[in-house]
Homo-oligomer: A and B are copies of this chain.
Amino acid sequence: MSHSRSTIRDVAALAGVSHQTVSRVINNNERVNPETRALVEAAIEELGYHPNAIARSMARGRTCTLACLSPNLTDFTFASIIEGAEAEVRKHGYYLVSSSAPTEEEFSQLIEELFTSRRAEGLFVINPYADGRHNLLPPAAPTVFVGARPRQRYTVSSVALDDISVARQATQYLIELGHRRIAMINGPMAEDCSQDRCSGYEQALQDNSINPDPSLVIPGYWTATSGYQALQELFELPSSPTAIFAQNDRMAIGMLRAAREKGITVPDELSVMGVDDMPLSSYFDPPLTTMRQDPLSIGREAARLLIDTLEKRQVSSKHLLLQAQLIQRQSTGPIISS
């Protein structure tokens, strides 16, 4: 009755069997007499017995715990990936420790505390190329990269948005609206995802025989502020763009605001689109056209990959690219020939 502090041996004593039989019962081992089982179950009930997870981990040599290291837990995309991974992982009997590792130092400390000390059996790493953190991974760590290709690490699996394709579609869409001078604002170029979105943009221009104009490509930092500033720059150019592909929604939102303040009408004078479809992207003025990604699925797939690796259902590394969907709203429109 002492609240759930009783052990397998207490149960055994009460049921008049060996502790091993109790172990068989709680592990649903078939080789136990139904009557004995009933006896044991009654004892378990009476004592309010619950197996101790740590002792099980100890004996089995498995923690059933995975870790997710993310630059932060609040970014909507990251949080969604984590939510997706957490739910999936749990379905398979695992637990997820999600930690924010804004710096390389914290990252390496977490690796040590979680993986090296064998608290976690495997790792999710969101945005591994934000800095040099990918170099801090133990080679033996079962790992899935989320939102990036694994580059030279051939044992690591990965799940990411198909950034090339997404950017290509977005740019193509703007081209089909009649735009030719299409600007782009990037994320930090250390990240695969920015690089790939650049490639996709360039490919789309090339597909349509449009000469890329380097002055139309502005470096940004994923923030609304950087979008806001980029628009100012773009409209100081001798010949300003008629459309902008922002590599994420936040930067697009910043541009929308800058345009409003400068008296530039969206979409009549300028089309703006983003990537993500953040919550409330449809509530801005005007509602934002964007490429909707599904970060929950990304997390879910990452979880499946990691678990498959751990349970040896899969030996070689695997790389998944998910697609996005064009969401047409009112921030983009056909070019107005005036």
Contact = CB atoms under 8 A, between A and B. Distances in A.
A169 to B, nearest CB: 25
A260 B285 contact: yes
A54 interface: yes
Interface stretch (A79-87, A197-205, A315-323): A79-87
A188 interface: no
Interface in A74-105: 74, 76, 79-80, 82-83, 86-87, 90, 95-100
A168 interface: no
**Count of this chain's copies in the oligomeric assembly:** 2
A97 B114 CA distance: 12
A50 to B, nearest CB: 5
A82 B87 contact: no
Given A83-B74, A250-B280, A283-B284, A54 B63 contact: yes
B117 A51 contact: yes
Give the interface residue-count category, chain A.
35 or more
Interface in A48-73: 50-55, 57-58, 63, 65, 72-73
Nearest to A89: B99
A117 B48 CA distance: 12
Interface string A112-147: 111011110000000000000000001010000000
A224 interface: yes
A257 interface: yes
A167 interface: no
Contact of A283 (B63, B74, B254): B254
22 contacts: A4-B118, A53-B119, A54-B58, A54-B118, A58-B58, A65-B97, A73-B73, A73-B86, A74-B79, A74-B83, A76-B76, A83-B100, A86-B98, A86-B100, A90-B99, A95-B97, A96-B98, A224-B283, A253-B280, A254-B283, A284-B285, A285-B285
Given A53-B117, A96-B98, A257-B283, 18 more contacts: A4-B116, A4-B138, A51-B117, A54-B57, A54-B119, A55-B58, A73-B86, A74-B80, A74-B83, A79-B79, A83-B100, A87-B100, A95-B113, A96-B99, A224-B280, A224-B283, A256-B283, A283-B284
